[in-house]
Structure formats: structure tokens, C-alpha cells
Structure 1
């Protein structure tokens, strides 16, 4: 019955579009065909099928439209309709040996309905950090100014503390529909050997949805996260991000550019007056070859805090670079660098710290990944952070070394 219904619809469309077929140019037909392919690549399956059916009604001898529609029906699990279309193709077009092999392979494998793809990973790590509490690198502090200036030495509680830790991480991603929407979860748990006040837990939940911005394929991401510190809820954050990859013919084939914009709201549960709204505009250049992967990114930052927040509002910028390539056997290496600068708009704390805060944080990272077995690898990571400030209380340096076992599952 379904096949007969399809035949009636096809006959009706063919008659209704007769005048259009006479007026359509080869370029018009190719445009409609490419539109159907684009819709299919974007996961908009129903719209893609409608485009191919329209093309077949206008140009019944367009073999590509018949083939794409047949493969589409097979991917949806409609084996009967896919077989009807395969037979039409065999009778109408005397397909080549290559096309026949594709058809026969689909028949052998069977037409199965869409199944959501999912991915999970788990990591367990052991590491050491030279400054787990971000203690000040300068033990001398000064408050006030002029004749009221007071200098002294910081207590041990505000100086760098070295400690070892164990960390567990879990990531899970799953497709939610055929249009490409994805849900994801990220969990992190870190336990210090001695300084339990620095124990942290974090949870991130999010949705990522593709959409079309003109001729550019884009993504929108909504995420919510929370962090605990020392066993108490410390921070909550909500963020909305949009990113798009414009089609630029001036870029070489192995390069692409991604533009992004983000807006977020941060709430500090245990710190009165520190809640803020922040925004970001950025660009990322991606480099891909069979031997290496690279990224370079830069952007502008804005942070609007509550009126009582020390230093008031602030603005800044960031830049980063990362390179990954094969080393030996199956091992890969990564090098990364990031810099983030913030500039305050007002004196941090009048009559106490009479300075407008300027913060510049630089991080270097080096990693070696060594596969152990299927879905498993060993990762050795070194990380160094320099936080340079014009207010000595906030300056700190740290280094960390971490060894991780990672399982990348289904």
C-alpha cells in the first residue's frame, strides 16, 4: 500500500510540475540536488527527502536524486520503500558496477532504523602540584598608601603549598535526534592527600544543537555547571555559546576558521558580591593534516560584576595555541600555550589596596599519549602556570605533573 501511495504522489507531482520541468535549467536541477545533500548532511532528513522527491518529480531521469532518496529510506529503516527505489534505479538507469555494489551492500546489511551514537570515557590520575592553594609567590605584602602604608610578611596559610592528589574524570556524549542534537555530561572529582580544603568536585551538563546561519553551518550550546570546594558548593554557572564555520575560499584545504560568541552568568555561593555576567567574542583557526593537528585562538572578554565586587567591572583578552602530532610507534605528543589578561576599571579596594588590578595568566602544557590496548591509553602531562599581577597578594606560580590512565569506550 505504501509503494502504491508513493506512486500516486509521484504521478501527481510529475503532472503538477510539468511546466516547471520545461522551464528548469540544468543549473536549477543541480542547485536543488546540492540542497538535498546539504540538508542530509545537517541531519534534516525529512527536508532532504522532500527536496529529492521534488527533484524526481521535476526531472524523473535524475539518477542521483533517486539514489540519494533510496539510501535515505534505507537509513530510516524503511526496507520496503528502499527496495522499491533500488529496483526503479536498476530498471531506469542500468547503473554501473560500482553503484550496483552499493545497492547490493545495502541489501546485505539490511536497512536498519537510526540509532543514537554515544561516546563515553573514564580517566583515573595521580599527580603532584607545587602550589595547590595558589599561594602568593611574594611573601611580602603591603596595604594602604602614603604615610598609612603598612608592610608585613604573609602567614604560611597564604604561601604556596605542595600536595599530591588523585583525580577521576567521566565524560559521556549521546545523540538525541537525527538532526544532530547532542547531550553531554562531564564529571570531575579531585582529592588532595593532605590539604582537604582544596578538594574539588565539578559537574557540567549541556546540549549542543546544529543550525544553519545563512550558508554557514553553525552550532548552539547551552550548558550548566557547578563546582564544590572543600566539600561546600562554591560556584554555579550558566552559559550560552554560538559558533560557526564560514566557508572561506581564501583558506587552504587543510585550514578552517571558527567564529564564536558566548554569554554566561556566574554565581559564587560562598563569596558575597562576586557574582558576575561575562561575555566573549573569539576566533579559532584549525589546522589538519594526516601527520598533525593544530589550533590557534584569540578573543575579547568582558566581565560585569556586582557593584560591591572589588575592582568593579573588568575587560580582557585571551590567546592560545596547540599542536598535536605523532612521535614514535603509536604515541602522540601535544604542546599547548594560553594567555589570559584582565584589566580592572576601578581601584581594587580604596584605602586598603589603592591600585587598579591588572592580571596576566600564562600557562604552558606538554603531554605524551601512549596507547596501551584497544580503547586505553596512558597520558603523562606537565603543566606550568605563571599568574603575573600588579598586586603582589595575587601573584602565584605553580607546576604540576600528572600520570593518567584513560579508557575511551563505546
Structure 2
């Protein structure tokens, strides 16, 4: 291989009689010095001609920080790297593994799913990602707990009507009826405590949560909810799938109120255009009321749409259909609906995450609401929204703030209501 001659090799003037006479010693010295400069130039020239990539230096520094146990610092450097180099697959995988070691397995698995959907890696990399996604998080062999304490205000605890009267039409004519005081909206502040445990932090293992909300004045609406959840994840060649099962036990005013069992399947296909991919969901929930068996029901719901992630932004748009199948003689019997949902998330910075949801649905009863008193079938237009802010104060402490609102408009106007909730609090991870 022809090696380039180093530029501008220095010349040396040996002010010595042996040099002027070109003696044997002088020629040997010239050759030795020339060989040293040639070797030095050949070794250093490639480095001088191609300076190291600063992104790769940052990547190496992040790996060194992770090896030395500085996980938070390593994660910050990897985040900076993927913002500059969104196609740096190795950095994305290492970022997912770091999230796992830091205890945020859900975020780590989300990054792995993003790699599969957006980068379309070869089969060998997909198999590696599947093994990572279904293994425990390194040293996380003990249960992972989250404890939260928050306060808030609910503008309509009882979902009361914002009207104080309604009009009834019967054979006797038109009658105006005043609504009972208990049907009027009741606002109150509340305190909420939540505890959640993830057993071994492994997919398929159960997750348990306990939440309790206590109102300052409206104690009849105090709620307690106990939930158990388990699931499994599949990462396939063309799509990913998640199946979850959840059982919820609810108490109202310290009395058994409702048991619910939910089966939920979620699927995401491979990216079709610039990180945009199809999504589909199916959900079936059985509601069993402890003291009102006439309201027992199966609720079936299906959604289809598209989702996309670009850098720090994530968005999802889906269309939905639902069937609330009554198992008893409740007013209106079965309820059928259709609608749409828009959801998004923006990681503004490492210290601020914003997410939002907008859900619109139209629902119609199968039979008249209270025949013959109300011969109309109830038609409901339901609009719901939610906005969440999350600010990590430390690796194990997060400040949360949320707003949620709900509006119901009906052709039976005494069922109309507006409600919103503002809530803020801290979550501790340990």
C-alpha cells in the first residue's frame, strides 16, 4: 500500500566537520532523524486529517459514566446524543437499558418499541430487543413501589345537572318539574393517596395498586380502589402486541360498590411513513354492582387509528365504537356509541413532560329511558379532556399536576352536566 509522504519534513544542518565532509557518522545521524520524523508523521497524519466525531466521543463518555455507576449523568448524555443523532440505534438501545436500570421500565420498553417500529431493524436485532424487553431489569429483583400524595378540587362530585328544573310532556299536558337538591352539582376539595407495586418489574408479573380519595365535606362520595393487573408483550416481525388483564374492586362511602374485570389487547404495526404506524385496541369489561344488579353490564370497545413519534413528540388518533350491553333491566337497556380520541405527549426537556387527551363520543340507548314517562331514547354527546404535567425533581421524586374536564349533553336535558378536576401532588419511587 502506498503511504503518503509527510508534508514539510524538516531539514537539519549539522554544523560539524563530519557533516561537511559527509562522513559515515553524519549520514547515519541524518538517516536516523529522518526515520523518526517519518514514523511520527505516518502515525499522526491520519488523526490530524480526520478529527474524532464529537458525537461518538459523547457516546463513549456516556458508556464510561454508566460503567462507573453515574447512571443519571449517562442518561442525560445519551438523551443529548439522540436529539442530535435521531438514527443512532446503539444510543437508543443503551438509553432503554439505562431507563430499566433506573427503575422506569415502561419508558425503556417504549423506547425499544420505537426502535422496532421506526428503524425496521434486521431480524437479529429484533430478536435481541425481544429478549431485552422480556427480561428483568438488571438488579431490579425486588418489588418496585410508587407512593403518591395529592390534593385537588372537583367541581361536580356527584355529576349533578346544571339545570334546576325540567319539562315533562304527558297526556295531561306539559308539566315543569323542579329537580331535587341532591341532583344539583356539589363541589368539594379532596385528598388522594395512591400506592403501586410492580412485582419483580417483569412483563407478565402482577401489578397491584391501591388508591383512596377522601372529600372534605362530601364524605358519601369517598372512594377506595384496589386493582390487580398482569400482562404480556410480544415483539414481532410486523407488529407488537400487548395483552393485559385487570381486576378492580371499588368502594363508595366505605361500602362495597363495584367489581370490574377488564381484558385489554393493544397492537402496533411497523412504521409506514416517517415513524407513523397503525394501532388497534380491543377492550372488554365486565361490571358487577354489589347492590344494584340491574346495572350489571359488559362493555365492549374497539379502536383503530394511527400513531407517530418524532423526536420528543408523540401523537395518536383513533376512531372508536362501543357497546354497553346491559345484563339487567336498567333504564335505556343497551347503549351503543361511536367517537374519536386524540392523544399526545411532548417531552419538553428532561425536567418537563406534557401529555394531553381529547375524547369525543356519541351514545344512544336501545330503548326509551323511562317509558311511558320519558318515551324518548336517550342520546348523549360526551366530551372529555385531560392535561398532565410531570416534573422530575430527583431520580426518585416527581411532581405532577393535572386538569381533567367532562361535559355531557343529552336530549333529556335534566341529565346534562359539566365537571372538571384540578389535582397536584408528589410521587415517590422506591
TM-score interval, smaller chain: 0.5 to 0.7
C-alpha separation in 2, matches of 1:399 and 1:374: 31
Whether 1:145 and 2:166 are equivalent positions in the alignment is: no
2:263 alignment counterpart? 240
Whether 1:229 and 2:255 are equivalent positions in the alignment is: no
Match for residue 367 of structure 1 among 388, 398, 408: 388
- Equivalent pair of 1:144/1:354 in contact (CA under 8 Å): no
Once the two structures are superposed, residues 32-72 of structure 1 have per-residue CA deviations (whole angstroms, 9 ceiling, x without a partner) of xx6665445334999xxxxxxxxxxxxxxxxxxxxxxxxxx
2:60 alignment counterpart? none
- Equivalent pair of 1:170/1:186 in contact (CA under 8 Å): yes
| Deviation (angstroms), 1:131 | 0.9
Matches within 5 A, 1:355-394: 355-394=376-415
Whether 1:156 and 2:181 are equivalent positions in the alignment is: yes
- The structure-2 alpha-carbon separation of the partners of 1:124 and 1:361, relative to structure 1 and needing over 3 Å to count, comes to same
- Equivalent pair of 1:144/1:351 in contact (CA under 8 Å): no
- The structure-2 alpha-carbon separation of the partners of 1:370 and 1:118, relative to structure 1 and needing over 3 Å to count, comes to same
Whether 1:203 and 2:226 are equivalent positions in the alignment is: yes
C-alpha separation in 2, matches of 1:304 and 1:239: 14
Return the index of the structure with the highest Cα Rg. Answer: 2
- Equivalent pair of 1:221/1:240 in contact (CA under 8 Å): yes
1:170 alignment counterpart? 195
| Deviation (angstroms), 1:142 | 3.3
Equivalent position SS for 1:197: helix
| Deviation (angstroms), 1:186 | 2.4
Matches within 5 A, 1:11-410: 38-43=126-131, 116=141, 119-143=144-168, 145-147=170-172, 149-175=174-200, 180-211=203-234, 215-248=238-271, 250-253=272-275, 255-327=276-348, 330-407=351-428, 409-410=429-430
- Equivalent pair of 1:120/1:170 in contact (CA under 8 Å): yes
Q: What is the TM-score normalised by the length of structure 1?
A: 0.68
C-alpha separation in 1, matches of 2:133 and 2:178: 67
Once the two structures are superposed, residues 357-401 of structure 1 have per-residue CA deviations (whole angstroms, 9 ceiling, x without a partner) of 112221222333333222212222222221111112221111222
- Equivalent pair of 1:136/1:160 in contact (CA under 8 Å): yes
| Deviation (angstroms), 1:331 | 2.7
Once the two structures are superposed, residues 74-104 of structure 1 have per-residue CA deviations (whole angstroms, 9 ceiling, x without a partner) of x99xxxxxxxxxxxxxxxxxxxxxxxxxxxx
Structure 2 gap segments, 5+ residues each: 1-121
Q: What is the TM-score normalised by the length of structure 2?
A: 0.65
Once the two structures are superposed, residues 102-140 of structure 1 have per-residue CA deviations (whole angstroms, 9 ceiling, x without a partner) of xxxxxxxxxx99865854322111111111111111111
Equivalent position SS for 1:346: coil
C-alpha separation in 1, matches of 2:322 and 2:160: 26
Once the two structures are superposed, residues 278-336 of structure 1 have per-residue CA deviations (whole angstroms, 9 ceiling, x without a partner) of 21111253332333232323311111102512111111123222233245782333333
C-alpha separation in 1, matches of 2:406 and 2:279: 27
- The structure-2 alpha-carbon separation of the partners of 1:260 and 1:367, relative to structure 1 and needing over 3 Å to count, comes to closer
- Equivalent pair of 2:387/2:403 in contact (CA under 8 Å): yes
C-alpha separation in 2, matches of 1:225 and 1:129: 22
Equivalent position SS for 1:41: helix
- The two structures, once aligned, show a CA RMSD in angstroms of 3.0
C-alpha separation in 1, matches of 2:157 and 2:138: 50
| Deviation (angstroms), 1:162 | 1.1
C-alpha separation in 2, matches of 1:213 and 1:315: 34
C-alpha separation in 2, matches of 1:402 and 1:280: 28
Greater mean deviation of Cα atoms: 331-340 or 129-138: 331-340
C-alpha separation in 2, matches of 1:231 and 1:287: 43
Aligned residue pair count: 310
- Equivalent pair of 2:351/2:391 in contact (CA under 8 Å): yes
- Equivalent pair of 1:303/1:314 in contact (CA under 8 Å): yes
Structure 1 gap segments, 5+ residues each: 1-33, 47-74, 77-111
Equivalent position SS for 1:191: strand
C-alpha separation in 1, matches of 2:422 and 2:265: 34
| Deviation (angstroms), 1:144 | 5.0
- Equivalent pair of 2:297/2:328 in contact (CA under 8 Å): no
- The structure-2 alpha-carbon separation of the partners of 1:284 and 1:200, relative to structure 1 and needing over 3 Å to count, comes to farther
C-alpha separation in 2, matches of 1:342 and 1:247: 33
